[in-house]
Amino acid sequence: MATLKQGLDKRVSEYDYWAKRRQHGPEGHNNCSLWVLACMDERLPVDEALGIHVDSPAGGGDAHCFRNAGGIATDDAIRSAMLTCNFFGTKEIVILEHTQCGMLSANAHDLEKYFRDKGIDTDNIALDPTLPELKLEKGAFAKWIGMMDDVDEACIKTVETFKNHPLIPKDITISGWIWEVETRRLRAPIVGVGAEKRTLIPDVTSAPFGVKSNQPPRWK
């Protein structure tokens, strides 16, 4: 029968390893060897949606979690995925998007006009002042914003982007999922045939937000 001291010694040793994970390279991977790309929306509970512990309790340790507007592929998302998959022992990527997303709520050309009306030249702007080499081609600002026409389509395209990116190892398992804010239900993204089954509350496109024209063709 193990003594309390032995149990405490084991617990302290395991926590010490957990706290110093990054010193162990790929062998110090997170609990699930998982990287999650999720929308930044406050109504998207990553832990509840995926059944893991990332944010709660604090430092749950199940996954690396990257959030941005829309949960889409951006240069910094790819940078983070590249690091975790190649150097931190991650073996799986999950893309998590959701209904009622704010990235459906306006046309990106109108958002660009907002900045231009403020006197900002969107054709000549530093995306990252610490990395002036990172530039957009003229006329690409609206596309860079990453607004969506359809959440399910964007999720599928984001999965494809990571699957086909040369910095992401080919043996990484990659999947995409939609969290329905209205029903608190997780489902796979659906487009085309069967799309009518997506939800009884079909706010997965920009139409209910009053957006009448298509977004710049980021996913083409």
**Is 115 a domain residue?**
no
Tell me whether residue 64 is annotated as binding: no
> What is the pLDDT, as a whole number, of residue 168?
98
Percentage of residues of the chain with pLDDT beyond 90: 80
**Res. 214 pLDDT band, cuts 50 70 90:** confident
**Is 139 a domain residue?**
no
**Is 159 a domain residue?**
yes
Overall number of domains in the chain = 1
Q: What is the pLDDT of residues 71-105, one digit of tens each?
A: 999 999 999 999 999 999 999 999 999 999 999 99
**Res. 206 pLDDT band, cuts 50 70 90:** confident
**Is 214 a domain residue?**
no
Dist CA 144 CA 132 (whole Å): 16
CATH number, domain of 69, equals: 3.40.1050.10
Residue 5 Cα to chain centre, angstroms: 43
Tell me whether residue 101 is annotated as binding: yes
Q: Which residues contact 31 (CB under 8 A, 6 or more apart)?
A: 53, 60, 61, 62, 63
**Is 133 a domain residue?**
no
**Is 105 a domain residue?**
no
Residue 219 token pair: 């996913």
Residue 72 Cα to chain centre, angstroms: 5
The predicted model scores a pTM of 0.90
Tell me whether residue 155 is annotated as binding: no
- What is the pLDDT averaged over residues 4-29? 94
Tell me whether residue 41 is annotated as binding: yes
**Is 37 a domain residue?**
yes
> What is the pLDDT, as a whole number, of residue 136?
93
Of 34, 93, 95, nearest in space to 63 by CA: 34
> What is the pLDDT, as a whole number, of residue 199?
60
Print the domain residue range for 57: 18-99+151-191
Q: What is the pLDDT of residues 152-196, one digit of tens each?
A: 999 999 999 999 999 999 999 999 999 999 999 999 998 776 666
Dist CA 73 CA 159 (whole Å): 8
> What is the pLDDT, as a whole number, of residue 135?
92
**Is 89 a domain residue?**
yes
